[in-house]
Amino acid sequence: MAPAPAAPPRPSIPSRAAPATAAVLPTPPRPSGVAVLADELRPVLVRLGRRLRQEPAVPGLGSADAAVLTALGHGPVTVGELAAREQMRVPSIVVLLAQLEARGLVRRGPDPTDRRRVWITRTEAGDRLALAARRARTAWLAARLHRLTRSERLRVAQALPALERLLQEDL
């Protein structure tokens, strides 16, 4: 007796399940409390910083001018150091410094040990304008803080040390 012929393969029956081509994405992990806080805090800090920079400090002083004058309040810096600190390209800083120098707000001075290096400092007029810009921005922020309740202002004040620690590089 000869063996029975093999049965032809059975056609597959389509299932009602999702097609094999549809990828099933895993549910993303739920953010931790810290991640949620960071996600909510970041845009607030960005908007607040942007709004402070946009506040017209004094007539004729743009936000980039004010930022550079403020940065120069920490002492003499080179053009490259200033560009890095302000996160600007060196050519942009050079143009800005030339304008501030023409207005008598900054001065360039040689390095006593390296003739290729130039130090940038604020003049007395630059000091006065930087102080006026700081006072104007502080007044703007004080007016906004005044709109808060006493309890809200207290919570902002209590958060300051922790916010300051966020800026420390070696937490």
Q: 81: domain range? A: 60-138
Average pLDDT over residues 99-115: 92
Predicted pLDDT at 30: 66
For the segment 26-51, what is each residue's pLDDT rounded down to a tens digit?
Answer: 766 666 888 888 999 999 999 998 88
Which tops the pLDDT comparison, 21 or 121? 121
| CATH code of residue 105 | 1.10.10.10
**Per the domain annotation, does 146 fall within a domain?**
no
Phi-psi region of 32 (alpha: psi -120 to 50; beta: other; left: phi over 0): beta
Is the pLDDT reported for residue 109 higher than 70?
Answer: yes
Q: Number of folded domains in the chain?
A: 1
**Per the domain annotation, does 169 fall within a domain?**
no
* Concatenated DSSP letters of 88-138: --HHHHHHHHHHHHHTTSEEEEE-SS-TT-EEEEE-HHHHHHHHHHHHHHH
For the segment 56-97, what is each residue's pLDDT rounded down to a tens digit?
Answer: 667 778 888 888 998 999 889 999 999 998 889 999 999 999
User: Taking all residues of the chain, what is their mean pLDDT, rounded to a whole number?
Assistant: 84
